[in-house]
Amino acid sequence: MTWVGRSAARREDPRLLTGNGTFVDDIHLPRMLHAQFVRSTIANGAVTGVDLSGTLAVPGVVAAFTADDLTIGDITAVLDRPPSEFVPTAMPVLARDRARFVGEPIAIVLAEDPYTAEDGVEAARVTYEADRPVLGAEEALAPGAPLVHAAAAANTLVDVSMFATEGIDDIFAAAHRVVRVRSRTGRQNALPLETRGAVATWDAREEQLVVRTCTQVPHQVRTVVAECLGLGERTVRVVVPDMGGGFGQKCVVGREEIAAAAAALRLRRPVKWIEDRRDALTASFLAREQRYDVRAAFDQDGRILALDADVVCDMGAYSCYPFTAGIEPLMASAELPGVYRVPAYRVRGRAVTTNKAPSAPYRGVSRPQIVMVMERVFERAARELELDPVEIRRRNLITEFPYTGINDVTYDPGSYLEALNLCERMLRDEGWYERKEQAAAEGRFLGIGYSCFSERTGYGSGAFAKRKMAVVPGFDLAQITMDLTGGVTVTTGTMSHGQSHETTLAQIVADRLGLDLAEIKIHQGDTDRITYGFGTFASRSATIGGSAVARAATKLADRLLHLGAHLLESTPDDVELHDGRVRGRDGRALAYRELAAVAYLKAHLLPKDAEPGLTASASFDVHGDGTFSNAAHGAVVELHPGTGRVEFLRYVCVEDCGVAINPQVVEGQCRGGIAQGIAGALFEEVTYDAQGEPLCASFIDYKVPTANEIPDIEIRHLETPCAFTESGAKGAGEGGTIGAPAAVLNAVNDALRPTGVELDDTPIRPETVQRAIGAYA
């Protein structure tokens, strides 16, 4: 039986759906204290005093600490770039002399229960000398603007110009047509269902600080806890229980989990911190607020000749660890050309600091924005050149592989043209183009929009090294051990936060060892069980983590074949692994438990060159520029004049993530990602008042779509196996989010075509649609 490629039922579901999962807030330890944070009430200003006497007077409050009370180092993320390109910003675990955004933690309060901790927070008194906050990129870059950090001139943390093709200005001057797109995307919150949290405790027997936290990157948390608290890494253990989502917000190291760990170390009592929803909405890591000014030159046949872009990303008050404030502008600069053959390219990417909560990666990391901008470029060029918008894409798509772009990125084989053609054919065959014409004749506003894109997955060390990160993610490790019953335990450096690793990684192992899924246990999220791992982000789990697991399983398979052949008095070439046995061509077989008994209990029977035990480990790193999944999305919408509502009539996605280890899981990833992409296109935006106070402190103000707003989505699969991952998989975690905003925006613009209005910003607000239709009517 082949497991890879089957929609096997998720092995996580029985535990999670019956309430038997264990999340951070399910952890209860004897003598445990509960932590909450005194947070800044101003966006910018000096902290002139912190009075915790009232806090300590609250019955049940055990302790309260400021930065002066705890010896904690700062969190500093670094790029190995010159000062002209990157300015590091130390992020204090607890703010000392200055507050830089509303919600910044200033003191930690420890109490016997969470309600008392909140009472203690309310009793604290902080005094400030408030200054004018800087609340937007334009304001931050304006001459004479207040500086968020004294070391960051012009409030700029990253300023990198890349890929300046020689003679590009002459290309623009001679071009048949130059189109320009200015686009802005709103600030968003990743909103995992489970907010951030941690339980920290000192284990006196092991002489170890144990931090149980919901993070995508447990080893990086261990590193930062150790550095900030002045401990050896062996003295820190990070354990991740079940996790209710992350989407990138949890793939950076947060200040609160470090403070909770410091308090547990100081008091020698367990400390629990659970982020409440208000703090999650206002003070957690945010993302997405970007501004693009893009020009593109075209010839008379609609082929792109050159691309020139200025990218400005509002990264909030600090750099996140380990990615830094460069995560968004560097991603955008490197990958803006996308799936198109762009002969000449110039880009400037900047990260600007403002008095808002800092930014972190969020599902897709700039690619929803760059795809939206590029798709708007081609839509605008199609209109000005009077070409079909799908045809102009066909003329410019990469179709020969491997392809090395002007951005110095080599794309592995994909199905860019095939996906777009199938997506369009589905909508044409269903008659949507005829329905659109009929709707126009009836005075209704119906539009069809597409997006075509690739998703770089499996970023290896080489790809991250190009960003000049001081911490270079990339490789991952895996270990596999067979026990005396013939079952195996796999330990991986990746970290699931809902992506079905317990199922998909087990499917890979099952095929390599000839085992049933029930005989395989996947273990992840424990820094004491594997040397190092970079966790889960950027769709790396199947490509890199899965390949490491596959290699480890193959090594164990070789050991089983060698041992089985020896015991059967045969050769490894004459035996095979099947159904939990080593079977010879003559029909004789030995169950794995029989081999394990020899390997562990009767080592004198082992071959002379064999070591006792049945354990193997392996690593994997993608060399070069990584793998590239691709997809095309098609959306059909109708605009309602009275309300400005955007109603979905159809949504199709044609995706190619190489070999789909579990097609059902891939479809779940696509649908969830598309929902988040639609949310960014139509609903979600974090906003502030003139003093920097967040205006979205609850779900009343932060508009999150429900199931009523998300359409049924049809997904079609293409398969272009990857040549350099172990299973042929590429990765599918972010594609839905990457493609949806562009498809939705293009569909809305297509519906608005009779009005002459074109929209380039998201989220698209109902009042904007309503005004456009009202002015036309």
Residues 32-58: pLDDT tens digits? 999 999 999 999 999 999 999 999 999
Strand-pair partners of 130: 45
- CA–CA separation, 337 vs 608, rounded Å? 57
Q: How many CA atoms lie within 13 A of 498 on its CB side?
A: 17
Helix, strand or coil, per DSSP, at residue 210: strand
pLDDT tens across 753-764, in order?
Answer: 999 999 999 999
Per-residue pLDDT for 777 more than 80? no
Helix, strand or coil, per DSSP, at residue 228: helix
Beta carbons within 8 Å of 530's beta carbon, 6+ residues apart: 477, 478, 479, 491, 492, 493
Beta carbons within 8 Å of 174's beta carbon, 6+ residues apart: none
323 pLDDT band, cuts 50/70/90, is very high
Q: What percent of the chain stands above pLDDT 90? A: 97
pLDDT of the residue at 718: 98
pLDDT of the residue at 623: 82
Across 510-515, average pLDDT? 97
pLDDT of the residue at 604: 95
Beta carbons within 8 Å of 325's beta carbon, 6+ residues apart: 77, 89, 157, 158, 313, 315, 318, 319, 351, 353, 359
Per-residue pLDDT for 606 more than 90? yes
pLDDT tens across 336-365, in order?
Answer: 999 999 999 999 999 999 999 999 999 999
Is the CB of residue 332 less than 8 Å from the CB of residue 313?
yes
Sheet with 714-718, strands from edge to edge, namely: 445-457, 627-639, 646-656, 714-718
pLDDT of the residue at 579: 95
Please, what is the average pLDDT of the chain? 97
pLDDT tens across 608-629, in order?
Answer: 989 999 999 999 999 888 899 9
pLDDT of the residue at 458: 84
pLDDT tens across 89-114, in order?
Answer: 999 999 999 999 999 999 999 999 99
Per-residue pLDDT for 411 more than 90? yes
Across 107-127, average pLDDT? 98
pLDDT of the residue at 776: 85
Per-residue pLDDT for 1 more than 80? no
- CA–CA separation, 397 vs 241, rounded Å? 43
Q: Which two tokens stand for residue 184?
A: 């802005």
Per-residue pLDDT for 268 more than 70? yes
Predicted TM-score (pTM) of the model is 0.96
- CA–CA separation, 290 vs 320, rounded Å? 17
- Pure H helices in 568-696: 592-601, 663-682
